[in-house]
Structure formats: C-alpha cells, structure tokens
Amino acid sequence: MSDQFTSSTDFGVQIIAKGEYEDRPYSDGDIYTVEVTTLRLNPAASSEWQSANAYDSFKTAEEWRRNDDKQQAKLAAFNQKIVCLLSLEDKGSISITQAEAATEVFTVVQIWKVAPAASKGVEGGGAS
C-alpha cells in the first residue's frame, strides 16, 4: 500500500495492506465491522517492541515477576503508538499481533458493533 514509513519522531510503521468486512457470526446476532491492517515496523519501533517483550532476558521467574508491571507498561505504550499512527478511533476491541514469519510485521485488528440483530433483518450467518 505504501512504500513510506509513517512516523512520529523515530517510531514509525509502513502500511502493507488494509481492509475491512462486515461480519454476522450468528444468523440472529449483532453485525460487526472487522478492520484489519498489516504493517511493518521501522527499526526504532522494532527495537521498542523487542524491549517490551524481553521476557527471555530475565534469569529467573522471580526476576520476571518483579519486572512484569514495567514490561506491561512498555507494551501498552508501544500499542498506543501504533493506534495513534494508524489514527484508530476507539470504536471497540483492538488487537495488535506480531506475525509468525517476520519479526517486524504486525497485524492490527479492530472490531466494533455496527448494528444490533433486529435492525438489519438479514438472514444467514458468517462473514459477508
């Protein structure tokens, strides 16, 4: 999608792909919008991610537990930067997940309810 990194100071991301779909998981259930963005971190953002997820750098489980609050705060700050760079509104649940195959590639998924079950009257289920 873009060959440029969007950055806030040194922390930046490159949007690789973005899309959304409407989902109705149950035939009589609510309707949701699912928005998915695949992005790549620049070196500064990648370094921050690695710092927030450095659990294997602790020598003992006790040391890890003592530092868990600090690590969770680093992870929350990292996630907030991603949300800000993508200009995501607080519409609902947001999940930020690292891809298995490439350490600098992440998927951001945001899901929010767009209509209660009774308002659209659509038959059938699953993604549309």
pLDDT tens across 50-102, in order?
A: 888 777 777 888 888 888 888 889 989 999 999 998 988 888 889 988 887 67
pTM of the model: 0.71
Residue 11: pLDDT over 50: yes
Question: Torsion angle, CA of 44/13/82/105, rounded to 10 degrees?
Answer: -90
pLDDT of residue 70: 86
pLDDT at 106: 93
Find all residues with CB under 8 Å of 82, minimum gap 6, and list them. 13, 39, 96, 106, 108
Half-sphere exposure of 70 (CA within 13 A, CB side): 9
Residue closest to 94 by CA, chosen among 44, 31, 49, 36:
36
Output the pLDDT for position 37. Answer: 95
User: What integer is the mean pLDDT of 17-25?
Assistant: 92
Whether 17 shows a pLDDT value over 90: the answer reads: yes
